[in-house]
Amino acid sequence: MSSAILVSVSEYLANSYRPDRDYVDGQLLERNVGEWDHSRLQALLLKQLLPYEDSAGLLAVPEQRVRVKASRFRVPDLCVVRGNPGEQILTLPPVLVIEILSPEDSMSAMQERIDDYLAFGIDNVWIFDPRRKKAYWADRAGVHEAGSGVLEAAGAAIAVDVNALWF
C-alpha cells in the first residue's frame, strides 16, 4: 500500500506545476488536460465568454487557482469573475466555474470538485463532456443535463449556446 506525500499550503503556493494541480488537504492532485477535445472545447467556451467582458464587466480566465477552503485549492478549466479580483489566487467565489471532462476523469472525483465549488458559494458550476457532446449544470440538488441547448449563469446574464461548441 502506497502512502501519499503531504505538501504544505505554502509549498504548494511557492511552486509551479505543468499543468497546474489541485491541492486537497495536503495532497497534490493531477488534472487531466492536454488532449485535443479538452483543449479545443476550452478555447470555444472562452470565445463565447469573452463578449461578456465588455457588456457585463465580467472577466473570463482559464486555469485560475481558486482557494475553496483553507486546505483546498481547485483549478477549474475556466472561471468567470466580476472585474479584476486584485489577487493572484481567488479567495472569493467566482460567478461561474467550468470543468471539461477528460476520459480519465472519474465521476466521484468530479463530484468532489462540484461539492467543493458549491460549498464555497459558487452558484454556477458547469460540466462539459466533449466525447458525449453533453453539457451539465450542478446545484445542491445534483447534476442536471442542459436539455435546452443553452446554459445560463444565474445572476450573471451569461448564456452559452452548447450546440455551437461541438466540433
Contacts of residues 39-43 at CB distance under 8 Å and 24 or more positions apart, as own/partner, are 40/130, 40/167, 41/100, 41/128, 41/130, 41/165, 41/167, 42/77, 42/78, 42/100
* Sign, CA torsion 102/111/5/76: positive
The answer to whether residue 9 is domain-embedded is no
8: CB partners within 8 A, 6+ apart: 26
**pLDDT tens-digit profile of 18-44?**
888 889 999 888 877 778 899 999 999
Total domains in the fold of the chain: 1
Q: How many residues does the chain have?
A: 167
Predicted local distance difference test score (pLDDT) of residue 121: 97
CATH number at residue 95: 3.90.1570.10
Residue 1 confidence class, pLDDT cut points 50, 70, 90: very low
- Nearest CA to 139 among 104, 101, 97? 97
Predicted local distance difference test score (pLDDT) of residue 33: 72
**pLDDT tens-digit profile of 94-152?**
999 999 998 888 889 999 999 999 999 999 999 999 999 999 999 999 999 998 889 99
Q: Is the pLDDT of residue 4 over 70?
A: no
Predicted local distance difference test score (pLDDT) of residue 107: 86
Predicted local distance difference test score (pLDDT) of residue 16: 87
The answer to whether residue 4 is domain-embedded is no
Predicted local distance difference test score (pLDDT) of residue 41: 95
Q: Is the pLDDT of residue 88 over 50?
A: yes
**pLDDT tens-digit profile of 51-86?**
998 878 899 999 999 999 999 999 999 999 999 999
The answer to whether residue 21 is domain-embedded is no
The answer to whether residue 125 is domain-embedded is yes
CA distance 46 to 41: 8
Beta bridge pairs of residue 98: 78, 126
Q: Is 149 exposed, middle or buried (0-12, 13-18, 19+ CB in 10 A)?
A: exposed
User: Cβ atoms within 10 A of the Cβ of 76, count?
Assistant: 26
The residue range of the domain holding 64 is 32-164
Grid cell 482557494 in the structure block, residue: 67
Predicted local distance difference test score (pLDDT) of residue 49: 95
Grid cell 485560475 in the structure block, residue: 64
Q: Indicate the pTM of the whole model.
A: 0.89
Q: Is the pLDDT of residue 157 over 50?
A: yes
Cis peptide upstream of residue 19 (ω within 30 degrees of 0): yes
The answer to whether residue 17 is domain-embedded is no
CA distance 42 to 2: 34
- Nearest CA to 72 among 115, 133, 15, 16? 115
